[in-house]
Structure 1
Amino acid sequence: MISQYLGFDSDYIIIGLAALVLILIILMIINVVQMSKLKKSYKIFMKGKNAKNLEDTLIKRLNQVDDLINANSANEKNIKTLFQNMQRTYQKMGLVKYDAFNEMGGKLSFSLAMLDVKNNGFIINAMHTREGCYTYIKEIIDGNSVIVLSGEEQEALNNAMGENNIAK
């Protein structure tokens, strides 16, 4: 009666509904296959584990992550402290060996410059003679000395600062 009112033949409606049922059956089969794969993956994931064991494993891993975060923070703090301490240590060195007197041989005298990153430090000059060894120290501030430096001391200072362009 409705088909006559709308002007359709009932055969077309039945064919359309059969096609719709066929599409739905195909979608259901695809859904069943995907669900089967999901169950298989779930069984592999849960194999040998119950919910309590899985929860314990997750809690253990989260605690390990927290421990790693805390260790990383401690490492960053220690690195910062080490970097600050390194600014005050002697990092640069220049050494020049020489003969203080013409009659002495073997280059037993030396000038040793020790500087920090800001070129502050000292120069030790040890002069070896037949009577003994005399040592002198001169303070270095910003790569300069208030006291006049000998040629060997200046060369040691230049070596420590990386300035090897002095005439010998």
Structure 2
Amino acid sequence: MTDGSTAIELSRCELREITGYAVACARPALAIFERERPDDRRPRAAIEAAQAFADGAERTRVLRDNAWAAHRAAQETRDTGQAAASDAARAAANACGAAFLHPLAKATQVKHILGSAAHAARAFELSVGDDPAVAAEHIARARAHARPIVVDVLRRYPPAPAGGGRVGELIRRLDVSLR
């Protein structure tokens, strides 16, 4: 490969486990989104699609479509000043994205594993007035929820990359705590 990345082993079973973990991390933040937009089911549909994959459904276009729909919900809420709801929707979109973790040893792939947890933590943090202690609590729960398979897969990748603002910081904090 021209970018220096190397392929790693990644089974369908491991992808399902990673996706299930992402769903478990994102699901609690749905309440934040639904409080702001009770009639908008896009993030919930994304989480349901990701859960279906984790439970054995095929990885199809339905996952991508639901991820993009949740991403659009995130953009719309961000544009209307609903930052916590936006991060909650991003957590849901990232849950679908976890099913598309690439078997390339690139640091950017860590976002597929831990992005939903970090966005959910940020949503909780913002929902209570930007209190970092609330995000730390969610990150601690996400760490405790990670099964050995999730940790094993994470360790195959380089550490999370720099950047990404507050969500990137939360990804790196969770990444360090799991390795």
TM-score past 0.5 threshold: no
Higher relative contact order (CA 8 A, sep 6+): 2
TM-score w.r.t. the length of structure 1 is: 0.21
Q: Which has the larger radius of gyration?
A: 1
Structure number with higher strand proportion:
1
Structure number with higher helix proportion:
2
